[in-house]
Amino acid sequence: MNKIKYRLWLIALGFALLIGIYFALTLGRPAPVPVKREIYEGVTYRRIVRYLPHAMIAQVLVIDTKTKGISFLVTPPSEVDGDAVTARTTSQFLEEFDLQIAINGDGFFPWWSRSPVDYYPHSGDAVTPNGFAAYQADIYADGLQNDKPEPTMYISRRNDLTFNRQPGKIFHAISGDRMLILSGEIVPGLDDTVIHPRTAIGINKNGRCLYLVVVDGRQPFYSAGATFQELAELLKDLGAHFAMALDGGGSSTMVIEGENGKAVILNSPIDNYIPGRERPVANHFGIYINR
């Protein structure tokens, strides 16, 4: 009987040790536990945690676009030679424009990441989004350098969101990597093998609910990331009728405004394989709350 108790004690100790090691490895990052709470009027924050078929932690914001005072912003162009914008981290974008919510936007060029000290862009360097981009009717990237045009989300003055249907009068526009969901159906042929950090944006059928999703990745024992297929399935489960992937990898970042007006990073970004390090990117999608 004593041997049985001793073995059970050893099993319990080993289990507690494994849990302790796991949580020690996740220090400084969002706790790997599910969360759901309202962070602003009309804005619900969710943290979704999955362990199979691999570790995946997703940060999700669900925004009621009809909430009074909500409005949207795409990064404006900058006065730079040869390129459209100056690179900023997502936190810098939120703080510079006094936003309450922000995520990274489209892919961009030039870009390289050879080491933690040899990379481009730094904050303030000149870059251009890969796809179509507009700020308050000012089109500052046309996406014509791509053989295959990127999908684009258009935002009207009245905060109406549409994908791939260019309006007669363009106000804001931001492009992405690829469509994930079209008319309620997952786009056929999405990659289901390559796992990376991801960022995505979507809307429900009547356009009232906006979904922002960032999946952390490249962080062993915490979150591996998601395939495009898994990202699409996650958005469909949330209720998205249309959704597109934005730039992923080291660019994937979601921030909100803290009580002191400074950015609070909701996810665990990873640039140059350094957890918590934000990458300066070309453009972003931001939200004002109760303005």
Question: What is the per-residue pLDDT across 46-98, written as a single tens digit (0 to 9) for each?
Answer: 999 999 999 999 999 999 999 999 999 999 999 777 778 999 999 999 999 99
Residue 215's CB is within 10 A of a number of other CB atoms, namely 28
pLDDT at 28: 76
Is 184 in the same domain as 247? yes
Query: Residue 192: CB partners within 8 Å, gap ≥ 6?
Result: 227, 228, 229, 230
Is 130 in the same domain as 247? yes
Is 204 in the same domain as 284? yes
Q: How confident is the model at residue 22 (pLDDT cuts 50, 70, 90)?
A: very low
Count of domains observed in the chain: 2
Is 257 in the same domain as 218? yes
Return the SS3 of 101.
strand
Domain that holds residue 283: 35-288
Mean local confidence (pLDDT), 133-142? 96
With CA atoms as reference, report the closest residue to 101 among 239, 264, 221: 264
Is 180 in the same domain as 199? yes
Question: What is the per-residue pLDDT across 152-174, written as a single tens digit (0 to 9) for each?
Answer: 999 999 999 999 999 989 999 99
Is residue 16's pLDDT more than 60? Answer: no
With CA atoms as reference, report the closest residue to 242 among 180, 160, 158: 180
Q: 8-42 b/e with 16+ CB inside 10 Å = b?
A: eeeeeeeeeeeeeeeeeebeebbebeeeeeebbeb
Is 19 in the same domain as 52? no
Is 84 in the same domain as 187? yes
Is 22 in the same domain as 157? no
Measured between alpha carbons, how far is 246 from 17 in angstroms, rounded to an integer? 39
CB-count burial class (<10 Å; 0-12, 13-18, 19+) for 7: exposed
The torsion angle over the Cα atoms of residues 34, 39, 41 and 47, rounded to 10 degrees, is -20
Mean local confidence (pLDDT), 225-244? 98
